[in-house]
Structure 1
Amino acid sequence: MAGAFRMAKTEEMTQRAEHSIVMDRLALDDLVTGYALAVDDGDWPGYLALFTPDARVDYRSAGGIEGSAEDVAAWLAETLRHFVIRQHLIVNRRITLTSQDGAPGDAADIRADYLNPMRLAGPATDADGGPTAPNYTCAGRYDFTARRTPDGWRLTSVVVREKWREVRQPSG
């Protein structure tokens, strides 16, 4: 065929592999975002759906517990009920996919920083009776590990490494 463009087989395979890596990275980014939203919204069934059955979560550096996703979800539900505002901002995500014979593998590590402004329940409110600005802020780094499952990417481990926190007393 004169003038017809024909892509070499290796270029086609490379493009498929690159497309797969991009799709995996987007799915892993969505998994981390889902984690933050589930915690902030207190969506504990949604939180648990993000994990493999054998997953472990470690909040000890933030004064919490280490255990199964179920144990930590119960602890978070109890602890976070004291906060009327919660907003986990997870940024600077570095996603590392495992490689298997040069192709994307079925495991990933995600390191991401977090900033978590929250509002402790209490008497300080604005003129309309609503909560005012956050008075409890913490920040640090998450180390997530994930595995590809038949249901998509799921977390196998979450380790929280709190670096700092600030608690301000209500004014007034």
Structure 2
Amino acid sequence: MSISPADRLAIHELLALHGHLSDSGDFDRFTEVFTDDVRYDLTAYNAGVVTGLNALRDMALQLGDRNPLAHHVTNIVISPTTPDTARALSKGLAVNLDGTTGSVTYDDTVQRTPGGWRITHRRIIPRRKPLTP
């Protein structure tokens, strides 16, 4: 299974756009990143699964100043699953107001829609300890 270089670039830009919109507080533009019925899995943070674009936006607004100052996405690996869907793994780095940082893995399912590629499911996996042999 493969997707075109143009699709790969579009998925990379999709994942990057999330951080820019989050950092600017432009949550109403999340329609450019997620499907209306997105499942945003925060189970690893004991916050369950946020379902739907409106609920995701509301959660981000409720966090207010507890949102990170900056989101950075890197190390993107795309594995097509069908011609119109793919799994995208990436690393997320967050810079917090108090100067601390955090690292996560984003495990995304992305889908081609009439408006372009969108995330249908995101699972956030925090990185809490280094590897041990």
SS at match of 1:114: strand
Question: CA deviation digits over 1:134-162, x for unaligned, max 9?
Answer: 2x321110011111111111110111111
Residue 38 of structure 2 corresponds to: 55
**Paired residue for 2:8?**
25
Q: CA deviation at 1:63?
A: 4.5
Q: Who is 1:153 aligned against?
A: 117
Which residue pairs with 2:95 in the alignment?
117
- The aligned amino acid for 2:77 is R
Matched, 1:37 2:20: yes
Q: Which runs of 4+ in 1 moved over 4 A?
A: none
Please list, as runs of the form range in 1=range in 2, the aligned pairs for 1:1-172 lying within 5 A after superposition.
21-68=4-51, 69-83=53-67, 86-99=69-82, 105-120=83-98, 134=99, 136-164=100-128
Gaps in structure 1 of 5+ consecutive residues: 1-17, 100-104, 121-133, 166-172
CA distance in structure 2 between the partners assigned to 1:164 and 1:48 by the alignment: 31
- Tell me the amino acid that sits aligned with residue 66 of structure 1: V
TM-score, normalised to structure 2's length? 0.84
Q: 2: distance between equivalents of 1:149 and 1:55?
A: 13
Post-superposition offset of 1:60:
2.7
Which ranges of structure 2 fall in alignment gaps of 5 or more residues?
A: none
Alignment partners' CA distance in 2, 1:43 and 1:33: 14
Give the secondary structure class of the aligned counterpart of 1:164: coil
Task: Quote the residue 1:126 is aligned against.
Answer: none
**Whose radius of gyration is greater, 1 or 2?**
1
Q: Say which is worse superposed, 139-148 or 46-55, in terms of deviation.
A: 46-55
CA RMSD of aligned residues (A): 2.1
In structure 1, C-alpha distance between the alignment counterparts of 2:46 and 2:60, rounded to whole Å: 11
* Distance change >3 Å, CA 43–CA 144, structure 1 → 2: same
**Larger relative contact order, structure 1 or 2 (CA cutoff 8 Å, min sep 6):** 2
Q: Does structure 2 retain, via aligned residues, the 8 Å contact 1:48–1:70?
A: no
